[in-house]
Amino acid sequence: MLLRLLRRTAVFLASLFVSSIAVFTFMAVLPGDPARVTLGVNASDSAVQQLRDEFGLDRPLVSQYASWVHGLVTFRLGDSYVSNAAIGPQIADRFQVTLWLVVTGMVIAVLIAVPVGTVMAIRHRRLSGVLLSGLSQVGVAVPAFLAGILLITVFAVRLRWLPANGWTPPVVDPGMFLKQLVLPAFSLGIVQGAVLTRYVRSAVLDVLREDYLRTARAKGLRPGQALVRHGLRNAAIPVVTMLALQLATLLIGAVVVERVFVIPGLGSLLLDSVANRDLIMIQDVVMVLVVAVLLVNFLVDLLYIAIDPRLRAGAS
Amino acid sequence: MTVHSVELADTAVGPARRARGWNASLVVGGLIVGLLIVMALLSFVWTPHDPTLVNAAARLQQPSAEYWFGTDKFGRDVFSQIMVGSQTALFVGIVAVGVAALVGVPLGIVGGMGSRWVGETLMRFNDLLLAFPALLLAIMFAAVYGGSTLVAMVAIGIASIPNFARLVRSGTLQVMRTEYVLAARAAGRHPFGIGLRHVLPNVSGLVIVQMSVGFAIAVLAEAALSFLGFGTPPPTPTWGRMLQASQELLWEAPRLAVFPGVAIAVAVLGFNMLGDGLRDYLDPKLEDRR
Amino acid sequence: MSTANVTASTSEHPPDRSAVLAVRDLSVAAGQRRLVEEVGFTIHAGERVGLIGESGSGKSLTALSLMGLLPGELTATGSARLGDHDLLSGDEAALSQVRGKDIAMVFQEPMTALNPTMRVGHQVAEALLIHRARTDRRSAHAGAVELLAQVGLPDPAVVAHAYPHQFSGGQRQRIMLAIALANDPALLICDEPTTALDVTVQAMILDLVVRGVEQRNSALLFITHDLAVVATVCERVLVMYGGRIVESGPVLEVFTRPRHPYTQGLIATSDLAVVDARGRLATIRGSVPPAGEFPAGCVFRNRCDHATQACADRPPWTELGDETGYACFHPVTHSRRGFDD
Ligand SMILES: Nc1ncnc2c1ncn2[C@@H]1O[C@H](COP(=O)(O)OP(=O)(O)O)[C@@H](O)[C@H]1O
Ligand code: SF4
Ligand SMILES: [Mg+2]
């Protein structure tokens, strides 16, 4: 078990290292001259040189990389080339907003997917199962931002139940916060839920075929009881994997949904930075997103060790 | 998941399967995809109107015999734009899926045939790549090089590599355990020959299915990219940009969101269904496990 | 062996032995394809009956249909009475009351039959709790530990706390047996419980099964393709081929004087085989066809050396005595060692 933990940790750290190199190479090395990219082709040479001096862009790449990573680890990310505002606090601020969106979206997705997927699996031979399956297929085909636009059309424009966009922090006005959260969170949740539903269905179908489920029934458990007591824990393993893998999609889906609902999250920050050609900000935001995804996947690996005694014992 | 050739899988299941009759996913998915291709090809030679022609006199028209889906705020014909938008969707899909398959399939085969260490390293690399979804890659590309069709294609293609590599690797691992491969290895055949003669043909079914599903993913990602303005630049119409433009007019003309939205959803649905249908067709035993 | 002996053993069911299980016209079908056809037999209280036949004969499907645990795509028809219950009624609520209490089963594959994420003791205790043999967790746990001790697992308290992957196949099969015996079932079905195990472990498991059912006066339906096992474990045997019962009777009778050519072939190919008059070891030619591809009429026709035109019709059941008989137009005669001397 200890060995497994160590190995997972090593893989996690290695992933962080490799992805940081990739992001750094992409954003700081490949553009050739970040200062020129930032200021644009029309900027004077002296202005470009000034920016270079200011941000140490003439230093060797290795030392630039080292100070970037140091900044990431200590979360002292320095200032933006463009706005000269401190990057760290901005990212932290925006990340909170995105986190609300992603977590609520994921909860909605799970609340939809687990019951619906299970029913689809149990009834997969019946009409109801086939119809649900078709419905989830349609859900999968709708991107989150489209769902957002459609939800706005129905619930904000037609019915006027909820605001079409905007964001209020929960500490400022909890009621408004919730009202504004509903539509974007559902845009993410419905779509992600449709995707997840199909994984729940196939995981439950797999578990229903397992010998130990037959043993459970042979003891006298009803099909539903057997599934709940013996199946769901085992079906959870592939579903949780999927959930973790989907986190990247969900985070990136949030970027677009934030644009639809005009929400000041990490996604809006990223898109604004692209518009402003703020390379260092982009580099940091991208890295934060990647670290978040890798971290969650790492935590899920640890979770398996808790769920599955075979892993806990270190047997492979 | 099995990787038999089609005949093998068919006989294993026998008459029960054939009696079940037609494969609805395959037919409906194939029809949608076929229609999409016809529409894209047709749009090169004919559209009801010039999709980029600004006509102030015909702003925001309701659907009519003249403008089937109505017009946008510049008086451009929505139906014609949808038709031309399918070009971009398919073109980006073809290149992205091509890139992903060309890189992912060999990677998967090597990962499945090589040593355990090679395979594990590949899978870790795959996991890593999964932390960079198409949109994130595209934003990085676009930040440095600006948005373009090429950026969209390359970003989506790279982000789709893990899907192919993972699938092909697991297929390869199974083929490697079959008796004919064991025999070929015992006979001292070169791994490259085994890969080409035995593994590739046997995983091709999986690859075809994944290509169809990959197309769906590409259409979704392309739409998101052009929605954000990182894809094909104006004036070429794309479904994503049509949606983006519709947003400010949701109060007056929600249909401007509905038509491109439906186009995206139907196209994605078509490719997903085609993929499902192909999977059933190529390996009927999997029918219940989608 | 004398004629007198045979008649004695065929009609010798003590009157107090009531039928535990009565199966009539049991058929199992996958859509149009019949996998098990019109099977009928009776098992009396405390009786140990073997069900033999090559792989693919329909033994497992017969057992699973009695448990009501056929895979969803298969349907069973006919009747199977266990006490007051009809096992084929399809009444899920009623059946789950019976399953694990009055009828229990040990499956062929011990490695996958236990839930990998649940402690062994919990899995045994669950069987006690479901049917209210114990009502609180603590005493159910104690009951589980005791059952684990009964099936010969050393340190049962430790075993109860462990997970299935920590045990070998033989040990897991003991755990399965503990679960199956938990509620003293009237009928225990074992489907090739030792096939997946080492030969050395086999004998111990068989011994446990026999002791377990004897102590509880449970009836046993023991499925195997190993005739030697049937000879040691069972009193009576049913021979199955192509989804039908082709011969049945007391073990000694059937094994020494098989009437059906298929039974004869089975014996000839088994460990019990004796070399025939010319010194050859016989085998059954050909192999078991896949389900649905058995010939019409007598299912054994395409592999049988005695087959004639008549065999294109379905051979009727020839009753020799209580629960003894065969289905063949040209039964093997045993003139030299049998009735005629
Ligand atoms: N779920 C199923 N669907 C279709 N055919 C099946 C199914 N299960 C078993 N069969 C077929 O039924 C026949 C009898 O199977 P089984 O009862 O498992 O045989 P045995 O236990 O005697 O080896 C076999 O030919 C098998 O292929
Ligand atoms: S009925 Fe005919 S074919 Fe069948 S076992 Fe008897 S002799 Fe052989
Ligand atoms: Mg069997």
What is the ipTM, given to two decimal places? 0.85
Helix (H, G, I), strand (E, B) or coil at C24: strand
Check residue C299 and give its pLDDT. 93
CB of C239 sitting under 6 A from ligand 2: no
Planar angle of CA B180, B182, B184, nearest 5 degrees: 70
CB neighbours (10 Å) of residue C112? 17
Nearest to C318 by CA among C300, C331, C306: C331
Q: CA-to-CA distance for A11 and B189, rounded, in angstroms?
A: 35
Collect all residues from A whose CB is shorter than 8 A from any CB in C: 125, 210-212, 214-223, 229-230, 233-234, 307-310, 313, 315
Scanning B8-67 for CB atoms below 8 A from C yields 14-16, 19
DSSP class of B131: T
Taking the centre of ligand 2 as the mean of its atom positions, its distance from the CA of residue C301, in whole angstroms, is 6
Enumerate neighbours of A (3 or more CB pairs within 8 A). B, C
CB of C242 sitting under 6 A from ligand 1: no
CB of C315 sitting under 6 A from ligand 2: yes
pLDDT for B117 beyond 70: yes
Check residue C190 and give its pLDDT. 96
Helix (H, G, I), strand (E, B) or coil at C328: coil
> Which tokens in the block code for residue C266?
């089975």
- Cβ pair B143:A138 closer than 8 A: no
Ligand 2 mutation pick, C303, C311, C332, max ligand atoms within 8 A of CB: C311
Q: Residue C42 forms beta bridges with which residues?
A: C22
B252 by Cβ neighbours in 10 Å (0-12 / 13-18 / 19+) ranks as exposed
Residue of minimum CA distance from atom 3 in ligand 1: C30
Does A133 reside within a domain?
A: yes
Q: CA-to-CA distance for A298 and C72, rounded, in angstroms?
A: 38
CA nearest C31 in B: which residue? B16
* C131, containing H or E segment: none
Ligand closest in space to the Cα of C58: 1
pLDDT for B40 beyond 80: yes
Helix (H, G, I), strand (E, B) or coil at C104: strand
Report yes or no: B233 and B178 within 8 Å, Cβ to Cβ: no
Residue of minimum CA distance from atom 11 in ligand 1: C291
- B211 contacts: CB under 8 Å, gap ≥ 6: B97, B101
pLDDT in tens, B243-274: 888 888 777 778 888 889 899 999 999 999 99
Domain count within chain A: 1
CB of C57 sitting under 6 A from ligand 1: yes
Ligand closest in space to the Cα of C298: 2
C278-313 b/e (C-beta count within 10 Å ≥ 16 → b): eeeebebeeebeebbebbebbbbbebbebbeeebee
Does A257 reside within a domain?
A: yes
Closest ligand 2 atom to residue C260 Cα is 5
Residues of chain C with Cβ-Cβ distance to A214 below 8 Å are 69, 107, 113
Taking the centre of ligand 2 as the mean of its atom positions, its distance from the CA of residue C329, in whole angstroms, is 6
Closest ligand 2 atom to residue C246 Cα is 5
Taking the centre of ligand 2 as the mean of its atom positions, its distance from the CA of residue A256, in whole angstroms, is 74
Does A127 reside within a domain?
A: yes
**Domain holding A136: CATH number?**
1.10.3720.10
Helix count (H) and strand count (E) of chain C?
12, 12
Length of chain B, in residues: 290
Does A191 reside within a domain?
A: yes
**How close does chain B come to A27, measured CA to CA in Å?**
7
Check residue C280 and give its pLDDT. 53
A168-206 b/e (C-beta count within 10 Å ≥ 16 → b): beeeeeeeeeeebbbbbbbbbbbbbbbbbbbbbbbbbbb
Enumerate domains of chain B plus CATH numbers. 3-289 (1.10.3720.10)
Strands C85-86 and C75-82: antiparallel
**How close does chain C come to B203, measured CA to CA in Å?**
28
Ligand closest in space to the Cα of C57: 1
Taking the centre of ligand 1 as the mean of its atom positions, its distance from the CA of residue C112, in whole angstroms, is 19
pTM for the predicted model, two decimal places = 0.79
Query: Measured between CB atoms, which of B227, B254, B272 is closest to A157?
Result: B254
Report yes or no: C258 and C332 within 8 Å, Cβ to Cβ: yes
Query: Measured between CB atoms, which of B132, B247, B272 is closest to A149?
Result: B247
C265 by Cβ neighbours in 10 Å (0-12 / 13-18 / 19+) ranks as buried
Enumerate neighbours of B (3 or more CB pairs within 8 A). A, C
Q: Is B288 on the interface with C (CB under 8 A)?
A: no
Ligand 1 mutation pick, C33, C35, C57, max ligand atoms within 8 A of CB: C35
CB of C290 sitting under 6 A from ligand 1: yes
> Which tokens in the block code for residue B50?
């010039």
- Cβ pair A271:B254 closer than 8 A: no
Does A6 reside within a domain?
A: no
Range from B96-100, B184-188, B226-230, C263-267 carrying the lowest mean pLDDT: B184-188
> Which tokens in the block code for residue B47?
């559209």
Q: CA-to-CA distance for A182 and A12, rounded, in angstroms?
A: 34
pLDDT in tens, C141-155: 999 999 999 999 999
HEC string for B163-214: HHHHHHHHHHHHHHCCHHHHHHHHCCCCHHHHHHHHHHHHHHHHHHHHHHHH
Report yes or no: B193 and B247 within 8 Å, Cβ to Cβ: no
Q: CA-to-CA distance for B88 and B236, rounded, in angstroms?
A: 9
CB of C127 sitting under 6 A from ligand 2: no
Ranges of residues in chain C with a pLDDT under 50 are 1-15, 337-341
Q: How many CB pairs under 8 A join A and C?
A: 79
Phi (first) and psi of residue C76, to 5 degrees: -110, 140
pLDDT in tens, B70-90: 777 777 887 888 888 899 989
Q: CA-to-CA distance for C196 and B164, rounded, in angstroms?
A: 37
Check residue A275 and give its pLDDT. 85
CA nearest A214 in C: which residue? C69
Residues of chain B with Cβ-Cβ distance to A289 below 8 Å are 136
* A269, containing H or E segment: helix A266-276
Q: CA-to-CA distance for A248 and B135, rounded, in angstroms?
A: 10
- A10 contacts: CB under 8 Å, gap ≥ 6: none
Nearest to B8 by CA among B174, B145, B124: B174
A261-279 b/e (C-beta count within 10 Å ≥ 16 → b): bebbbbbbbbbebbebbbb
Written as one letter, the residue type at A46 is: S
Residue-range definition of the domain harbouring residue A230:
95-315
Ranges of residues in chain A with a pLDDT under 70 are 32, 81-84, 312-316
DSSP labels, A28-61: IITTS-HHHHHH-TTS-HHHHHHHHHHHTTTS-H
Does A173 reside within a domain?
A: yes
Q: CA-to-CA distance for B76 and B74, rounded, in angstroms?
A: 5
Does A31 reside within a domain?
A: no
Report yes or no: B111 and B169 within 8 Å, Cβ to Cβ: yes
pLDDT in tens, A223-254: 889 999 998 888 888 888 888 878 878 888 89
Scanning C2-41 for CB atoms below 8 A from B yields 30-33
Does A23 reside within a domain?
A: no
Q: Is A141 on the interface with B (CB under 8 A)?
A: yes
CA nearest C71 in A: which residue? A209
- Cβ pair C116:A219 closer than 8 A: no
Residues of chain B with Cβ-Cβ distance to A150 below 8 Å are 257-258, 261
